[in-house]
Amino acid sequence: MIVRIPALLEARPLAFIRERLALVNWEDGRITAGPEAAKVKHNDQLTEDHPLAKELGDVVLAALARSSLFTSAALPLKVFPPLFNRYTGGGHFGAHIDTAVRLTRQAPFRVRTDLSATLFLADPDSYDGGELVIEDTYGEQAVKLAAGDLLLYPATSLHEVRPVTRGGRLASFFWVQSMVRDDDNRRLLYEMDRALMQLRELHPEGHPALIRLTGSYHNLLRKWSDL
Protein backbone atom coordinates (compact mmCIF):
# COMPACT_ATOMS: atom_id res chain seq x y z
CA MET A 1 0.00 0.00 0.00
CA ILE A 2 1.34 3.40 -1.00
CA VAL A 3 -0.09 6.26 1.07
CA ARG A 4 0.41 10.00 0.70
CA ILE A 5 0.11 12.09 3.83
CA PRO A 6 -0.44 15.67 2.66
CA ALA A 7 1.12 18.56 4.60
CA LEU A 8 2.66 16.42 7.34
CA LEU A 9 4.95 19.40 7.95
CA GLU A 10 3.33 22.80 8.28
CA ALA A 11 4.93 25.94 6.82
CA ARG A 12 6.87 26.96 9.93
CA PRO A 13 8.68 23.67 10.73
CA LEU A 14 9.27 23.16 7.00
CA ALA A 15 10.95 26.59 6.72
CA PHE A 16 12.98 25.87 9.88
CA ILE A 17 14.30 22.58 8.47
CA ARG A 18 15.11 24.12 5.08
CA GLU A 19 16.99 27.04 6.66
CA ARG A 20 19.10 24.68 8.75
CA LEU A 21 19.84 22.34 5.84
CA ALA A 22 20.94 25.28 3.65
CA LEU A 23 23.96 25.73 5.95
CA VAL A 24 24.98 22.10 6.30
CA ASN A 25 28.15 20.32 5.13
CA TRP A 26 26.75 17.29 3.29
CA GLU A 27 28.49 13.90 3.22
CA ASP A 28 28.54 11.11 0.63
CA GLY A 29 25.30 9.12 0.86
CA ARG A 30 27.06 5.80 0.39
CA ILE A 31 28.08 5.67 4.07
CA THR A 32 24.68 4.31 5.14
CA ALA A 33 24.10 2.04 2.13
CA GLY A 34 24.61 -1.71 2.08
CA PRO A 35 27.12 -3.14 -0.45
CA GLU A 36 24.56 -3.56 -3.26
CA ALA A 37 22.81 -0.23 -2.73
CA ALA A 38 26.15 1.60 -2.49
CA LYS A 39 26.88 0.74 -6.12
CA VAL A 40 23.80 2.64 -7.32
CA LYS A 41 23.58 5.46 -4.77
CA HIS A 42 24.73 8.95 -5.78
CA ASN A 43 23.54 11.61 -3.38
CA ASP A 44 24.49 13.66 -0.32
CA GLN A 45 23.39 12.82 3.17
CA LEU A 46 23.39 14.07 6.74
CA THR A 47 24.72 11.26 8.92
CA GLU A 48 22.85 9.95 11.92
CA ASP A 49 25.66 11.26 14.18
CA HIS A 50 25.33 14.83 12.98
CA PRO A 51 23.80 16.92 15.81
CA LEU A 52 21.54 18.61 13.26
CA ALA A 53 20.10 15.26 12.15
CA LYS A 54 18.88 14.67 15.71
CA GLU A 55 17.47 18.20 16.06
CA LEU A 56 15.68 18.19 12.70
CA GLY A 57 14.67 14.55 13.05
CA ASP A 58 12.86 15.44 16.27
CA VAL A 59 10.84 18.05 14.34
CA VAL A 60 9.76 15.30 11.91
CA LEU A 61 8.97 12.86 14.75
CA ALA A 62 6.80 15.50 16.46
CA ALA A 63 4.85 16.00 13.20
CA LEU A 64 4.37 12.21 12.87
CA ALA A 65 3.07 12.02 16.44
CA ARG A 66 0.40 14.63 15.60
CA SER A 67 -0.75 12.92 12.39
CA SER A 68 -3.75 10.61 12.84
CA LEU A 69 -3.43 9.62 9.17
CA PHE A 70 0.16 8.45 9.72
CA THR A 71 -0.88 6.49 12.82
CA SER A 72 -3.80 4.87 11.00
CA ALA A 73 -1.76 3.93 7.90
CA ALA A 74 1.50 2.87 9.56
CA LEU A 75 0.38 1.60 12.99
CA PRO A 76 3.91 2.44 14.12
CA LEU A 77 5.78 0.47 16.76
CA LYS A 78 9.25 1.98 16.18
CA VAL A 79 10.40 4.79 13.91
CA PHE A 80 14.01 4.96 12.76
CA PRO A 81 15.51 8.40 13.57
CA PRO A 82 14.82 10.46 10.42
CA LEU A 83 17.80 11.11 8.13
CA PHE A 84 18.16 13.83 5.49
CA ASN A 85 19.49 13.79 1.96
CA ARG A 86 20.01 15.97 -1.08
CA TYR A 87 20.25 15.15 -4.79
CA THR A 88 21.83 17.69 -7.16
CA GLY A 89 23.74 17.69 -10.48
CA GLY A 90 22.48 14.38 -11.88
CA GLY A 91 22.40 12.71 -8.44
CA HIS A 92 20.22 9.63 -8.33
CA PHE A 93 19.67 6.35 -6.51
CA GLY A 94 19.27 3.34 -8.79
CA ALA A 95 16.79 0.52 -8.21
CA HIS A 96 17.21 -1.23 -4.86
CA ILE A 97 15.33 -2.72 -1.94
CA ASP A 98 15.97 -1.24 1.50
CA THR A 99 17.84 -3.23 4.17
CA ALA A 100 15.45 -5.39 6.23
CA VAL A 101 16.77 -4.43 9.67
CA ARG A 102 18.39 -1.08 10.39
CA LEU A 103 20.74 -0.56 13.29
CA THR A 104 20.73 2.75 15.06
CA ARG A 105 22.94 4.09 17.84
CA GLN A 106 19.85 5.53 19.50
CA ALA A 107 17.37 3.35 21.39
CA PRO A 108 15.56 1.14 20.36
CA PHE A 109 18.73 0.18 18.36
CA ARG A 110 17.08 -2.17 15.84
CA VAL A 111 14.17 -1.40 13.55
CA ARG A 112 12.65 -3.93 11.14
CA THR A 113 11.81 -1.90 8.06
CA ASP A 114 8.17 -2.68 7.25
CA LEU A 115 7.52 0.73 5.72
CA SER A 116 9.82 3.18 3.97
CA ALA A 117 9.03 6.86 4.25
CA THR A 118 10.10 9.88 2.21
CA LEU A 119 9.23 13.38 3.39
CA PHE A 120 9.59 15.80 0.48
CA LEU A 121 11.19 19.09 1.56
CA ALA A 122 11.83 21.01 -1.70
CA ASP A 123 9.15 22.63 -3.84
CA PRO A 124 8.61 20.31 -6.84
CA ASP A 125 8.97 23.16 -9.37
CA SER A 126 12.39 24.07 -7.94
CA TYR A 127 14.00 20.92 -9.43
CA ASP A 128 13.67 18.65 -12.45
CA GLY A 129 13.72 14.86 -12.15
CA GLY A 130 14.07 13.32 -8.70
CA GLU A 131 10.86 11.29 -8.90
CA LEU A 132 10.63 8.43 -6.44
CA VAL A 133 9.70 5.45 -8.61
CA ILE A 134 8.16 2.50 -6.77
CA GLU A 135 7.37 -0.84 -8.34
CA ASP A 136 4.10 -2.21 -7.00
CA THR A 137 1.38 -4.59 -8.10
CA TYR A 138 -0.05 -1.96 -10.52
CA GLY A 139 3.32 -1.35 -12.17
CA GLU A 140 5.65 1.59 -11.60
CA GLN A 141 4.43 4.60 -9.67
CA ALA A 142 6.49 7.80 -10.17
CA VAL A 143 5.94 10.15 -7.25
CA LYS A 144 7.02 13.73 -6.68
CA LEU A 145 5.12 15.49 -3.92
CA ALA A 146 4.68 19.00 -2.56
CA ALA A 147 7.13 20.17 0.09
CA GLY A 148 5.91 18.93 3.47
CA ASP A 149 4.09 15.86 2.07
CA LEU A 150 5.06 12.38 3.25
CA LEU A 151 4.99 9.20 1.20
CA LEU A 152 4.70 5.80 2.89
CA TYR A 153 5.39 2.67 0.86
CA PRO A 154 6.17 -0.98 1.57
CA ALA A 155 9.88 -1.40 2.31
CA THR A 156 9.72 -4.68 0.40
CA SER A 157 9.29 -2.83 -2.91
CA LEU A 158 11.96 -2.18 -5.51
CA HIS A 159 12.36 1.59 -5.85
CA GLU A 160 14.66 4.26 -7.23
CA VAL A 161 15.16 8.02 -7.31
CA ARG A 162 15.51 9.36 -10.85
CA PRO A 163 18.40 11.73 -11.66
CA VAL A 164 17.94 15.35 -10.61
CA THR A 165 18.85 17.40 -13.68
CA ARG A 166 18.14 20.90 -12.33
CA GLY A 167 18.06 22.38 -8.82
CA GLY A 168 18.15 20.26 -5.68
CA ARG A 169 15.86 17.63 -4.21
CA LEU A 170 15.82 17.76 -0.41
CA ALA A 171 14.13 15.05 1.60
CA SER A 172 13.95 13.35 4.94
CA PHE A 173 13.79 9.57 4.86
CA PHE A 174 13.26 6.92 7.50
CA TRP A 175 11.71 3.54 8.18
CA VAL A 176 8.87 2.32 10.34
CA GLN A 177 8.49 -0.98 12.13
CA SER A 178 4.75 -1.46 12.26
CA MET A 179 2.75 -3.23 14.95
CA VAL A 180 1.23 -5.09 11.98
CA ARG A 181 4.03 -6.61 9.97
CA ASP A 182 1.95 -7.86 7.04
CA ASP A 183 1.24 -5.18 4.43
CA ASP A 184 -2.12 -6.71 3.37
CA ASN A 185 -3.37 -6.92 6.96
CA ARG A 186 -2.24 -3.35 7.61
CA ARG A 187 -4.10 -2.20 4.50
CA LEU A 188 -7.33 -3.90 5.67
CA LEU A 189 -7.08 -2.16 9.04
CA TYR A 190 -6.37 1.19 7.38
CA GLU A 191 -9.41 0.90 5.10
CA MET A 192 -11.61 -0.22 7.97
CA ASP A 193 -10.40 2.66 10.13
CA ARG A 194 -11.16 5.20 7.39
CA ALA A 195 -14.66 3.77 6.88
CA LEU A 196 -15.25 3.91 10.65
CA MET A 197 -14.23 7.58 10.69
CA GLN A 198 -16.79 8.33 7.95
CA LEU A 199 -19.50 6.45 9.83
CA ARG A 200 -18.73 8.33 13.06
CA GLU A 201 -19.22 11.61 11.18
CA LEU A 202 -22.58 10.36 9.85
CA HIS A 203 -23.65 9.20 13.31
CA PRO A 204 -22.22 11.70 15.82
CA GLU A 205 -24.78 10.44 18.34
CA GLY A 206 -23.29 6.94 18.00
CA HIS A 207 -24.80 3.69 16.78
CA PRO A 208 -24.79 0.13 18.18
CA ALA A 209 -23.27 -1.19 14.92
CA LEU A 210 -20.41 1.31 15.26
CA ILE A 211 -19.60 -0.10 18.68
CA ARG A 212 -19.38 -3.62 17.21
CA LEU A 213 -17.40 -2.54 14.14
CA THR A 214 -14.94 -0.52 16.24
CA GLY A 215 -14.61 -3.57 18.46
CA SER A 216 -13.90 -5.72 15.40
CA TYR A 217 -11.17 -3.28 14.31
CA HIS A 218 -9.51 -3.59 17.72
CA ASN A 219 -9.95 -7.35 17.81
CA LEU A 220 -8.23 -7.64 14.42
CA LEU A 221 -5.44 -5.33 15.60
CA ARG A 222 -5.06 -7.48 18.71
CA LYS A 223 -4.91 -10.60 16.56
CA TRP A 224 -2.39 -9.25 14.05
CA SER A 225 -0.13 -7.00 16.14
CA ASP A 226 3.23 -8.09 17.47
CA LEU A 227 4.86 -5.82 20.02
The residue ranges that bind Ni ion (CB under 5 A) are 98
Closest to Ni ion by CB, 13 vs 34, is 34
Nearer CB in complex with Ni ion: 95/197: 95
Least distance in angstroms from the C-beta of 96 to Ni ion = 6
50 or 92: CB nearest Ni ion: 92
DSSP type of residue 179:
S
Residue number of the CB closest to Ni ion reads 98
The secondary element (H helix, E strand) that includes residue 102 is strand 101-103
- Give the orientation angle of helix 11-22 with respect to helix 51-66, to 10 degrees: 170
Contact 148, 15 (CB under 8 A): no
Give strand pairing partners of 154: 115
Least Å from the CB of residue 133 to Ni ion: 11
Min dist CB 177 to Ni ion, Å, is 16
DSSP state of 89: T
Phi and psi, residue 134, nearest 5°: -120, 130
Nearer to Ni ion, 44 or 98 (CB): 98
Q: Which amino acid is at 128?
A: D
CA distance 119 to 108: 22
In this complex, which beta carbon is closest to Ni ion, that of residue 72 or of residue 85? 85
Q: Minimal distance in Å, beta carbon 22 to Ni ion? A: 24
> Considering the complex, what minimum distance in angstroms separates the CB of residue 159 from Ni ion?
6
DSSP 114-130: SEEEEEE-S-GGGSEE-
